[in-house]
């Protein structure tokens, strides 16, 4: 997906954002390489500050460890496999960083 391109998707409450990308066949190179097992950082997403503050649960220590390995890390970064869709997320714009870092691959 080219940098800056916007894609609108549908999501089901209760799905995680990794599943939303996959189910909507959004073409993001390398996204979700570990298939949501919290073993990589390829589903890294960046939220607007106001939206980030509304997420229903904070990141776990395991998620934070994986995020430390992500490219273009922000204070509002989360892994899509760990963020569950809620009704309040309707209309949110979530950024996919241009680069992907797979934590499973040696540096």
Radius of gyration of the chain (CA): 13
The 10 Å Cβ neighbour count of residue 79 is 27
In tens, the pLDDT along 64-107 reads 999 999 989 999 999 999 999 999 999 999 999 876 655 555 55
30, 100 in Cβ contact below 8 A? yes
Percent of the chain at pLDDT > 70 equals 88
- The Cα–Cα gap between 87 and 65 comes to 28
pLDDT at residue 27 above 90? no
Domain ranges of the chain: 15-95
pTM, whole model, 2 decimals?
A: 0.86
Q: How far are the Cα atoms of 6, 23, 54 from residue 42, in angstroms, in the given order? A: 19, 17, 23
What stretch of H or E contains 44? Answer: strand 44-46
CATH superfamily membership of 15-95 = Beta-grasp domain (3.10.20.30)
């Amino acid at each position: 997906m080219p940098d800056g391109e916007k894609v609108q998707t549908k999501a089901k409450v209760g799905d995680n954002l990794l599943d939303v990308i996959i189910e909507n066949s959004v073409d993001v190179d390398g996204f979700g390489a570990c298939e949501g097992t919290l073993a990589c950082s390829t589903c890294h997403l960046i939220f607007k500050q106001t939206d980030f503050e509304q997420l229903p649960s904070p990141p776990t220590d395991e998620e934070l460890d994986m995020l430390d390995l992500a490219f273009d890390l922000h204070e509002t970064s989360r892994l899509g496999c760990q963020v569950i869709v809620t009704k309040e997320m309707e209309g949110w714009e979530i950024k996919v960083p241009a680069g992907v870092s797979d934590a499973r691959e040696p540096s």
